[in-house]
Structure 1
Amino acid sequence: MKYVSTRGTADQTPRSFCDILLEGLAPDGGLYVPERYPRLDKATLADWRRTLTEDGYPALAFEVLRLFIDDISDADLRRLTQHAYAPGKFSDPKVVTTADIGDGMALGRISNGPTAAFKDMAMQLLGELFEFELGRRGQVITIVGATSGDTGSAAEYAMKGKRGVTTFMLTPRGRMTPFQQAQMFTLDDPRIINVAVDGVFDDCQDLVKAVNSDLAFKAEHHLGAVNSINWARLVAQVVYYVALWLRVTDSDDQRVSFAVPSGNFGNICAGHVAREMGLPIDTLVLATNENNVLDEFFRTGVYRIRTGAETHETSSPSMDISKASNFERFVFDLLGRDGERVRQLFVDELSATGAFDLSGLPEFGTLRERYGFVSGSSTHADRLDEIRRLFESRAIIIDPHTADGVHVVRTLRAEGVAFAEPAVVLETALAVKFSETINEALGHDVERPASFAGLEDLPRRVVDLDNDEDALKALIRDTLAALRAAPAAEA
């Protein structure tokens, strides 16, 4: 299994999994994708059903991932998946579970990890993979990432204490919930550096891409990525689509749908990959909030990014994104894997006009039939209503992002859009991370797990930074130099 860039030409040299694991973005600025997607058959799905039932989620993860990874031995990969999803790391021993929430929907519980967000599902594996491959090569890596909410804490908890890894995580100053900020800023590890940028998430993401695009700086400081631009993280998410499908089906050809709250297109892109592999997915329901760039594209064919001032601050902050990084992977498939055309769209047209229009392409006309996508969006009031409705009917409290997914399923059905049941709504995070919105919806807070007691009262470590590429480079350069000097100074 080899990997190519979404912006590459037909004669590009394919790369191995472990090479792209450490590299993040391709040198041409594109995203890595497999040369081809593995194909599943009913016999494989039947084997995986037995594996999940008898051996659990870590064993299933090994079986799925080995289809994409051929430069790590089976023995090592099996050990890494066992460590990533080891007992005690996740609050439920099954790791991934489901709950019937009525109206033809099931809740896909994928937020049982150490930071109470679905991002843990991929990050815990990514931490193991990084440490393994860096040790094998005798190298170090400097992670530079951006987060609109939960990616940061999941990455930092996964990378904390990992040999050879230093992490710089950029956040939009003041735009995360107090709980989300506290999860990140209270971590006490000199190799985890939190950076609060004067701007919105898209500004943070642009800074990450800018420093990665400086190939000399990237090589000098061994930059890598944990955002979903890193293929390893995305492919780890494919595993829980398989697991959730197995949990809600009885036969190996039963089709289900998935509703996915999405801002950066990473989570639902993993669903797209699973569907392309042959997992029996009928429909992928993409749900956005007021920042509806992706919904606009799937309804009109126009992809139009927003400026910072146009990015709304909402009650589902992890989706307050106006430039969806992983969307390029889908467009690459949509356009028949034409790397030059993708480069023109994402480099030339977006830079010049801030938009591109695919509505006139035959491929867009068959989007639902070929790729299974439908979409919708929600408002703050919609999310409050869904939180109340589910609490009153099932005594289940969902977070506002998950409420967005529930709302879009309900709305599309009311509009007459048909898709297979159950529609599995992917849980974004536990509601405890969004107490202000839960209080507004229900008049009371969510009971806080003991592991999070007093979190907001702990000392914080965060660096304020202007929205400036040179300032970020200077911070990285100076911090790494200080870390290298620290052991000598102590001696």
Structure 2
Amino acid sequence: MWYISTRGISPRVDFEGALFSGYAPDGGLFMPEELPCLDRKTLHAWSTLSYKGLVKELCALFIGPELIPRDDLNDLIDHAFSRFRHKEVVHLSRLRDGLNVLELWHGVTYAFKDLSLSCTAQFLQYFLEKREKHVTVVVGTSGDTGSAAIESVQGAKNVDIIVLLPKGHCSRIQELQMTTVLKDNVHVFAVEGNSDELDEPIKAVFADVPFAKEHNLMSLNSINWSRILVQMAHHFFAYFQCAASLDTHTLPTVEVVVPTGAAGNVAAGCIAQKMGLPIRLVVAVNRNDIIHRAVQQGDFSLSEAVTPTLASAMDIQVPYNMERIFWLLSGSNSQATRALMEQFEKTQRLTLPKELHSKHCPLLPGTCVCSEVP
């Protein structure tokens, strides 16, 4: 499995190369060069798997045994989930009238990002020990990413982690989770500005390719492909738990509502759709509604300011994973994606071309949710 940049200029890399990168050198995000298509037989076989089993199958597809042999991969994933409080790792709670809630909060920091980061950290350690390397992880956070990333690598001898948190914009619990870790490899800094503003210098650092290589820099934000890969399992697990039957002539469709900030879970769902999973995605945002406006009106433009809400981890105006979605919906057109994103970065305003906006139907433009959180 090879990975290419959404902007089409950087050389392709394998999973290890994508894992150890932040942004691609050309400023884009890594995506699989080809997506596997899952037939009905495979979906039937996967429908009986546990959440851990689904993560193992998906990771085996996108990593390959030449990089991590299957037995090693299974052990890494088992170890990643060994500290989760629920025996099933995630759990589906069935409410009334066909409404279900997928519980993704059983990790150490209570954030859903514990799921993907625990696995990503295991993959990271596997390659670092094999290559006898050291890396420095740079993470910007709007709340839960920072604490989950710290938890996943704290105490590791071959990893240093630098976390930038927006001063006064994280919840008190999240801030304490980050600032009270006393391991020598953890370095946390409170910075002025919101999470979007602190992403700008991080992206500039990765754009300086010689500097990033010299200091072995990488990111554990959801710009990292490994994060998206593991989050795909959420959608497969939810589908198999909710679908009435897979024995019908046409596989039933399940509607999945995804609260989102940087659109990592949404990107994971779109990739699952492309692979053949019959889900419909409803994007739930707070007052920072750039994704809502993009889906409804084709308006991918910044508002005047980030609005603080109770859902501080979703207080994002630059959902960088939308670049992956634009690339998918444009038919993997790197040139078009690069032009769109360069215009957005230059002007902070973008009107999606009609042909691209019309393809946002997988995100249910007519029923997108915009919750008003005070």
TM-score of the pair, normalised by structure 2: 0.94
Match status 1:333 vs 2:328: yes
**Is the CA contact (8 Å cut-off) linking 1:288 and 1:319 kept in structure 2?**
yes
Q: Residues of 1 paired with 2:219 and 2:205: CA distance?
A: 11
Match of residue 294 from structure 1: 291
1:254 Cα shift? Answer: 2.6
Q: Deviations over 1:400-442 (max 9, x none)?
A: xxxxxxxxxxxxxxxxxxxxxxxxxxxxxxxxxxxxxxxxxxx
Match of residue 432 from structure 1: none
**Is the CA contact (8 Å cut-off) linking 2:260 and 2:283 kept in structure 1?**
yes
Q: Which amino acid aligns with 1:101?
A: L
Query: Which secondary structure does the structure 1 equivalent of 2:137 belong to?
Result: strand
Match of 1:244 among 238, 254, 267: 238
1:372 Cα shift? Answer: 4.8
Match of residue 370 from structure 2: 377
Identity %: 33
Match of residue 77 from structure 1: 73
Q: Which amino acid aligns with 1:77?
A: L
Structure 2 segments unaligned to the other structure (5+ residues): none
**Is the CA contact (8 Å cut-off) linking 2:329 and 2:359 kept in structure 1?**
no
**Is the CA contact (8 Å cut-off) linking 1:59 and 1:82 kept in structure 2?**
no
**Is the CA contact (8 Å cut-off) linking 2:134 and 2:159 kept in structure 1?**
yes
**Is the CA contact (8 Å cut-off) linking 2:155 and 2:184 kept in structure 1?**
no
1:226 Cα shift? Answer: 0.2
Match of residue 265 from structure 2: 267
* Mapping for residues 438-477 of structure 1, pairs under 5 Å: none
Q: Which amino acid aligns with 1:284?
A: L
Q: Which amino acid aligns with 2:355?
A: P
Q: Residues of 2 paired with 1:39 and 1:371: CA distance?
A: 20
Match of residue 42 from structure 1: 40
Q: Residues of 2 paired with 1:237 and 1:327: CA distance?
A: 15
Match of residue 221 from structure 2: 227
Match of 2:212 among 191, 207, 218: 218
Query: Which secondary structure does the structure 2 equivalent of 1:297 belong to?
Result: helix
Structure 2 CA distance for partners of 1:346 and 1:366, relative to 1, 3 Å:
closer
* Mapping for residues 147-296 of structure 1, pairs under 5 Å: 147-252=141-246, 253-281=251-279, 283-296=280-293
**Is the CA contact (8 Å cut-off) linking 2:121 and 2:152 kept in structure 1?**
yes
Query: Which secondary structure does the structure 2 equivalent of 1:304 belong to?
Result: coil
1:47 Cα shift? Answer: 1.5
Q: Residues of 2 paired with 1:18 and 1:250: CA distance?
A: 38
Structure 1 segments unaligned to the other structure (5+ residues): 382-491
**Is the CA contact (8 Å cut-off) linking 1:97 and 1:244 kept in structure 2?**
no
Structure 2 CA distance for partners of 1:59 and 1:139, relative to 1, 3 Å:
same
Query: Which secondary structure does the structure 2 equivalent of 1:357 belong to?
Result: coil
TM-score of the pair, normalised by structure 1: 0.72
Q: Residues of 1 paired with 2:48 and 2:257: CA distance?
A: 26
1:123 Cα shift? Answer: 0.6
Runs (4+) of structure 1 moved beyond 3 Å? 370-374
Query: Which secondary structure does the structure 1 equivalent of 2:368 belong to?
Result: strand
**Root-mean-square deviation over aligned CA pairs:** 1.5
Query: Which secondary structure does the structure 2 equivalent of 1:154 belong to?
Result: helix
Structure with more of its chain in helix, by fraction: 1
The count of residues paired between Structure 1 and Structure 2 equals 367
Query: Which secondary structure does the structure 2 equivalent of 1:264 belong to?
Result: coil
Residues 242-251 or 174-183, more deviating: 242-251
Q: Residues of 1 paired with 2:341 and 2:47: CA distance?
A: 40
Q: Which amino acid aligns with 1:313?
A: P
